[in-house]
Amino acid sequence: MGEPAWKSLPSWYLVAQNDEAIPPDAERQFATRMGATTVEIPASHVAMVSHPAEVVELIEKAAEAVGAVAS
């Protein structure tokens, strides 16, 4: 499989502060290990449903940071 992409590429991580499926502290630990740019929001496990604007903002910032071009 090779080296995980997060070891050599920039990454971003959304921590859902009210997640009951994956403990938020574990999410923070994953993000720290990845060296990810982290955003935290007061959401449960499915943050993209309850906080779509914040999720879109994170994706857009990540895309801008790596020079992605919208089509």
pLDDT digits (tens, 9 = 90+) for 1-44: 899 988 889 999 999 999 999 999 999 999 999 999 999 999 99
pLDDT tens figures, 35-71: 999 999 999 999 999 999 999 999 999 999 988 766 5
pLDDT for residue 67: 87
pLDDT for residue 70: 63
pLDDT for residue 15: 97
Q: Which of 42, 34, 44, 39 is nearest to 11 (CA)?
A: 34
The full DSSP string for 32-62 is: HHHT-EEEEES--S-HHHH-HHHHHHHHHHH
Structural tokens at position 17:
């502060």
pLDDT for residue 48: 93
